[in-house]
Amino acid sequence: MPHAPTDLAHLVDLTKKQHAKDTIVLSQICQYLRPGTILEVGAGCGQLSYELQALGYDVIGSDIEPLFVEHMQSRGLKAMLVDATQINRTLTKPVENILTQGVSTLVTGRLGLVKQTYATIYENLVPAGRLIFIFPITKPTFFGPPRWSTLKDHRPIIASTGFRVVAIFRSQILPSAWYERMSKRTATLLEHRVGVHIGIRHVLVLER
The answer as to whether 184 is a domain residue is: yes
pTM above 0.75, yes or no: yes
Burial class (CB within 10 angstroms; exposed 0-12, middle 13-18, buried 19+) of 42: buried
Residue 113, pLDDT above cutoff 80: yes
Give residue 199's pLDDT: 93
- CATH classification of the domain holding 45: 3.40.50.150
Residue 154, pLDDT above cutoff 90: yes
Give residue 144's pLDDT: 63
Confidence band, pLDDT 50/70/90 cuts, at residue 71: very high
The answer as to whether 187 is a domain residue is: yes
The answer as to whether 5 is a domain residue is: no
Contact in structure between 205 and 130 (CB atoms under 8 Å): yes
Give residue 9's pLDDT: 78
Rg, C-alpha atoms of the chain:
16
The answer as to whether 8 is a domain residue is: no
Residue 127's domain comprises 17-207
The answer as to whether 136 is a domain residue is: yes
CA pair distance 81, 77, nearest whole angstrom: 13
The answer as to whether 84 is a domain residue is: yes
Contact in structure between 107 and 149 (CB atoms under 8 Å): yes
Count of domains forming the chain: 1
- If one compares 16 and 90, the residue with the highest pLDDT of the two is 90
The answer as to whether 113 is a domain residue is: yes
Residue 142, pLDDT above cutoff 70: no
Q: Where are the alpha helices (DSSP H) in 65-124?
A: 66-74, 104-107, 111-123
The answer as to whether 6 is a domain residue is: no
For the segment 34-63, what is each residue's pLDDT rounded down to a tens digit?
999 999 999 999 999 999 999 999 999 999
